[in-house]
Amino acid sequence: MKNNLLSEKLIYTGDSVTPTHLHLCTYNSTEIQEVSGDTFQAVKNTLNNEKINWLQVHGMKNTETIREICSHFEIDFLVLQDILNADHPTKIEEHDNHIVLIAKIFYPNEHKEEDELDELLQQQVCLVLGNNYVLAFLEKETDFFDDVNTALRNDVLKIRSRPNDYLLSVLLNSIMGNYISIISSIDDALEDLEEELLTITNGNDIGIQIQALRRQYMLMKKAILPLKEQYVKLLRADNQLIHKVNRAFFNDVNDHLQFVLQTIEICRETLSSLVDLYISNNDLRMNDIMKRLTVVSTIFIPLTFLVGVWGMNYKWMPELDWQYGYLFAWVLMVVIGIVVYLYFRIKKWY
């Protein structure tokens, strides 16, 4: 990795090819105005310092547009680089005039083949809270925050009458809802696998399913676990950008976060027990196979002994000249095999 402190060049590190597109929503308690464009200049004139400005940026491809936005809102160069770094760890960072939150949102792969296991994809979202604005940077064109747009248009719960930090809490709630939905589906899948393993069915692909769910779990854990320590920054009393009247909403988001963290811990324990159970089931199946092979071998041990005795080349073996010797040998071996088999059944060894 190159030293980003020695370069002024901005590079988007993700793989999204979504062209940069902006959607600005400017509102107050009485009115709302929306405008879209492909450049910052196309929406800049709509910005109003007397109102709340919510700017959504979809697609990080045009780094110069991202630079213009950050320059206008006095966001420093290091934060700008973090926004363009698609693999940046989850964090919440406080600055003099804004708060930066970098997180991940998850969604299933809709383009997977029919025979492929479910795959979890992610994209980075960066939220910036300032005095009268909220910025949302997303890697791809998505309808993730469309319900918030609808709520603003319809002024649901008087959302337009509240400060902009309330809008941030609503956006965080949407992210937490995404986490709850995905982690709950992983938890349900783990429970289904646990029931399947407890029935000791012959599921040859269970091990593959466990590994697929483990990858999804690790992906979410890596993205969410840092919020456990970082989120407290939003709840501090000396945070000037979070109004006291809206702290209850951030506490509600924190409750959702704690639920997600608890579910992640449950999934960790469930995964651990599933791996142990899977290994135990494999051992049981192997023991069952060995038991069957042992029974077959035990049945043939006395038969092999008889065949070995009659196969010796001694001159005087009276039964070799007996008229019914061959028939007697067959009857004797069948009877011995049946007796040994019944003995195992009576002892419940088979």
Residue with the bigger pLDDT between 149 and 319: it is 149
Sign of CA dihedral 88, 89, 92, 94: negative
CB atoms within 10 A of CB 262: 11
For residues 347 and 186, what is the distance between their CA atoms, to the nearest angstrom?
A: 44
Tens of pLDDT along 32-59?
999 999 999 999 999 999 999 999 999 9
Q: Identify whether residues 154 and 7 lie together within a single domain.
A: yes
> Is 258 domain-assigned?
no
- Domain boundary (122, 138, 158) is at 158
Can you read off the two tokens belonging to residue 236? 């501090």
Residue 51: C-alpha distances to residues 27, 30, 149, 152, 165 (Å): 6, 10, 16, 13, 13
Percent with pLDDT over 70 in the chain: 92
Whether 135 has a pLDDT exceeding 80, the answer reads yes
> Is 277 domain-assigned?
no
Q: What is the CATH number of the domain that holds 320?
A: 1.20.58.340
Q: 107: which strand partners?
A: 121
Tens of pLDDT along 161-195?
999 999 999 999 999 999 999 999 998 888 888 77
Identify which of 13, 24, 10 has the alpha carbon closest to the alpha carbon of residue 66: 10
> Is 223 domain-assigned?
no
- Domain boundary (108, 131, 158) is at 158
For residues 207 and 184, what is the distance between their CA atoms, to the nearest angstrom?
A: 20
> Is 126 domain-assigned?
yes
Tens of pLDDT along 86-128?
999 999 999 989 999 999 999 888 766 555 556 789 999 999 9
- Model confidence at 325, pLDDT cuts 50, 70, 90, reads confident
Residue with the bigger pLDDT between 348 and 92: it is 92
For residues 93 and 307, what is the distance between their CA atoms, to the nearest angstrom?
A: 84
Tell me, what's the pLDDT at 177? 94
Range of the domain at 291: 287-346
Residue with the bigger pLDDT between 234 and 100: it is 100
- Domain boundary (158, 178, 204) is at 158
Q: Where are the beta strands (DSSP E) in the chain?
A: 21-27, 32-37, 52-58, 91-94, 99-108, 120-129, 133-138
Q: Identify whether residues 154 and 297 lie together within a single domain.
A: no
Tell me, what's the pLDDT at 67? 95
Q: How does the average pLDDT of the chain come out, rounded?
A: 86
Tell me, what's the pLDDT at 2? 59
> Is 308 domain-assigned?
yes
> Is 234 domain-assigned?
no
Residue range 245-262: mean pLDDT, rounded:
88
> Is 78 domain-assigned?
yes
Structural domain total, the chain? 2
Q: Identify whether residues 151 and 3 lie together within a single domain.
A: yes
Whether 254 has a pLDDT exceeding 80, the answer reads yes
Whether 217 has a pLDDT exceeding 60, the answer reads yes
Q: What is the CATH number of the domain that holds 12?
A: 3.30.460.20
> Is 53 domain-assigned?
yes
Which spans in 85-163 are helix H?
146-154
